[in-house]
């Protein structure tokens, strides 16, 4: 049961990283885009720490938070690239 909750939580985290990255992709210059992605990843990390402790994953909270932060950075940094490239083609 806990692992099903973990699976859906990570799926929601990936979706949140995509949304945050695509919103940051609307900024004009790369500096604010990267700063926004880092802030978004830090927010996701904090949410993962809080939720993992309350869901019975207290002993794995740090590992899950680091994984969520890294996934959010990677996915969040890729989303602005895609968000900028799509409007140029149309």
Q: How far apart are CA 50 and CA 47, in angstroms?
A: 5
Predicted pLDDT at 53: 83
Predicted pLDDT at 69: 92
pLDDT at residue 83 above 60? yes
Instruction: Please give the average per-residue pLDDT across 77-81, as a whole number.
Output: 83
Predicted pLDDT at 26: 81
Contacts of 40 (CB under 8 A, 6+ apart): 17, 20, 21, 24, 72, 76
Q: What are 13-63's pLDDT values in tens digits? A: 888 888 888 888 888 788 888 898 999 999 989 988 888 888 777 788 889
Phi-psi region of 56 (alpha: psi -120 to 50; beta: other; left: phi over 0): left
């Amino acid at each position: 049961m806990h692992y099903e909750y973990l699976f859906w939580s990570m799926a929601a985290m990936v979706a949140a990283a995509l949304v945050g990255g695509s919103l940051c992709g609307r900024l004009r210059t790369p500096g604010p885009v990267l700063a926004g992605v880092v802030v978004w990843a830090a927010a996701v990390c904090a949410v993962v720490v809080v939720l993992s402790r309350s869901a019975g994953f207290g002993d794995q909270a740090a590992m899950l938070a680091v994984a969520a932060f890294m996934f959010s950075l990677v996915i969040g940094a890729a989303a602005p690239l895609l968000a900028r490239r799509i409007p140029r083609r149309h």
